Structures are given as C-alpha cells and as structure tokens.
Amino acid sequence: MEENNENIEGASDTESASVNSQVTDSVTQSDVKVEAQAGTAPGHRRQEKIGLVTSDKMQKTVVVRVERQVRHRKYKRYIRRRTKFMAHDEMGAHIGDIVRIVETRPLSARKRWRVVEIVQKSR
C-alpha cells in the first residue's frame, strides 16, 4: 500500500491529470455507447400506460382506453378523464383485456404506442 502511495506522490501533476482525463473520457464514452445501444435519448424514458382494450377490429392495431384522475381547479374534487390511444399489437390482445402500452416512434398517422404486455385477459 505504501509503495503505491509513494508512486502516486512521486508522479508529476501532468501525468496524473492526463490519467484522470483518460479515465473520465473512457467512462463517458462507454456511457454514450450504452445509451446509443438502448436507442433512447439520454435522460429520456419512454412513457408507459395501462388501459383497457376497447376495439380490436383492425389488423395488428388495438384501441386502448386509459383513465386518469384530475383534480378540479375550483371544486377540488377528482374527475375521471379518459383518453383513447391507438397501439400496435403483436401480442394478440382482444376487447376487454387490460394491457400495458409504451411510447414508440410514429408507426402511422395516429399510431404512436405499442402493446408490450397483456396484464389481464378478459373473461
């Protein structure tokens, strides 16, 4: 241990600075590679929502209804809001299934979501 400390103390400041910069550069480059492989922008996570399939009449597309609660500004009560999303479906979801959808690149004029998992099958 003491020998290592002596070697470090004996090294000049420029040598230690260059080693530190090389280590920092390699760490940041590896982080960038990992993010590039994942295919997402740094610091951005794709949105996920869980909803009910209301229509499966299209080929490889389902309509998913997602409900959320919003607090009313004036009356401070919670109101239920619904939103419909068109999602790409490779899983084979049917009407009444509860599915998890994730944000993706635009697949068509109205389709920007993809079914990742069927959480619960309809009865």
Give residue limits of the domains in the chain.
2-38, 48-120
Q: Which residue reads 């209804």 in tokens?
A: 65
Strands (E), 39-122: 48-58, 61-71, 78-88, 98-103, 111-120
Identify the pLDDT of residue 36: 41
pLDDT band at 123 (very low <50, low <70, confident <90, very high): confident
Do 50 and 97 form a contact (C-beta atoms < 8 A)? no
Per-residue tokens: 112: 């920007």
Task: Pick the more confident residue, 94 or 30.
Answer: 94
Identify the pLDDT of residue 44: 81
Sequence-ordered list of residues with C-beta below 8 angstroms from that of 110, at least 6 positions apart, any chain: 86
40-46 contact pairs (CB < 8 A, 24+): 46/102, 46/103, 46/104
Mean per-residue pLDDT, 92-119: 97
Task: Pick the more confident residue, 61 or 32.
Answer: 61
Q: Options 3.40.630.10, 3.40.190.10, 2.40.50.140, 1.10.3720.10; which CATH number does 48-120 get?
A: 2.40.50.140
The neighbour count for residue 101, using CB atoms within 10 Å, is 26
Query: What's the mean per-residue pLDDT of the chain?
Result: 80
Mean per-residue pLDDT, 65-79: 97
Identify the pLDDT of residue 27: 43
Using the predicted structure, report yes or no on whether residue 105 has a pLDDT greater than 70: yes
Using the predicted structure, report yes or no on whether residue 9 has a pLDDT greater than 70: no
Using the predicted structure, report yes or no on whether residue 19 has a pLDDT greater than 70: no
